Amino acid sequence: MGRVTERRRVVRLRDGVVSERPDTLVAEEPLEIRLNGKPLAVTMRTPGDDFALAAGFLVSEGVLGRPEELANIVYCAGATEQADGTVRNSYNVVDVRLAPGVPVPDITLERNVYTTSSCGLCGKASLDAVRTTARWPVSGDFPPLEPEVLAALPDRLRAAQRVFDRTGGLHAAALFSPEGELLDLREDVGRHNAVDKLVGRALTRGDLPLSRTVLLVSGRASFELAQKAVMAGVPVLAAVSAPSSLAVDLAAETGLTLVGFLRGASMNIYAGEHRVALGVSGAPGARRA
pLDDT tens readout for residues 223-281: 889 999 999 999 999 999 999 988 998 898 889 999 999 998 899 999 999 999 987 54
Which of the following is catalytic: 119, 129, 159, 252?
119
Between 25 and 87, the higher pLDDT residue: 25
pLDDT at 286: 54
Q: How far apart are CA 239 and CA 213, in angstroms?
A: 14
pLDDT, average across residues 214-220: 93
Least confident residue range of 35-49, 150-164, 249-263: 150-164
- Residue 95 sits at φ, ψ, to 5 deg, of -120, 120
Percent with pLDDT over 70 in the chain: 75
Percent with pLDDT over 90 in the chain: 49
List Cα–Cα distances, 159 to 9, 67, 139, 174, 195, in angstroms. 28, 31, 29, 12, 18
pLDDT at 18: 76
List Cα–Cα distances, 96 to 37, 43, 126, 133, 275, in angstroms. 8, 15, 25, 21, 36
pLDDT at 127: 43
Q: How confident is the model at residue 7 (pLDDT cuts 50, 70, 90)?
A: low
Mean pLDDT, the chain, integer? 82
**pTM for the structure as a whole:** 0.83
pLDDT at 228: 93
pLDDT at 101 over 90: yes
pLDDT at 120: 45
- The answer to whether 119 is a known catalytic residue is yes
Per residue in 159-198, pLDDT (tens digit) is 887 655 454 567 899 999 999 999 999 999 888 999 999 9
Q: How far apart are CA 31 and CA 91, in angstroms?
A: 8
Closest CA to 235 of 144, 151, 118, 121: 144
Between 285 and 236, the higher pLDDT residue: 236
